[in-house]
Every structure is written in structure tokens, then in C-alpha cells.
Structure 1
Amino acid sequence: NAALVDPEPVKVVHLDRPFLYMIIDCKTNMPIFIGTAMEI
């Protein structure tokens, strides 16, 4: 007997303006890398 699982709804991200992104070390909460994207 298999249960039916509804798929996750699709999440859309619009990259239509500059943004900041970071890679953070989860143990220390310190940033490993910080960058900006001005154009894609």
C-alpha cells in the first residue's frame, strides 16, 4: 500500500536586480564567501 504524496510547489526566483549572496560556515556562523551579482 503506497501513499500518494503531493509534489512540492515550484518556487520561482526572479533575478532582475542586483543582489548579495553569502556562503556561511554553519558551525561558526562566519562568512566564508560574500559576493554580489550586478547582472545576469
Structure 2
Amino acid sequence: MSDKLITLAKILCVIVGISFSLMLVAIFFSTAWRVLTLSGLVG
């Protein structure tokens, strides 16, 4: 039982870490895109 709980906790940590990283990357890209658009380099 405890092994299953540990495995579940590890999986949850991995999922949370991946989604957090994706969120950071998305924020970074949207900010960079906004800066580039404002400075007139893109579109």
C-alpha cells in the first residue's frame, strides 16, 4: 500500500513539474512575442 502511495506521489510530482515548466515556457514566449511585436520586429 505504501509503495503505491509513493509511486502515486512521484507521478504527481512529475506531472506538476512538467505542467509548471510548460506554463513558464508559455509565459516566456508570450512575453517575448509581445515585446517583439511592440518593437515592430514581428508582424
TM-score (norm 2): 0.28
Q: Counting strand residues as a fraction of each chain, which structure ranks higher?
A: 1
Q: Counting helix residues as a fraction of each chain, which structure ranks higher?
A: 2
TM-score (norm 1): 0.29
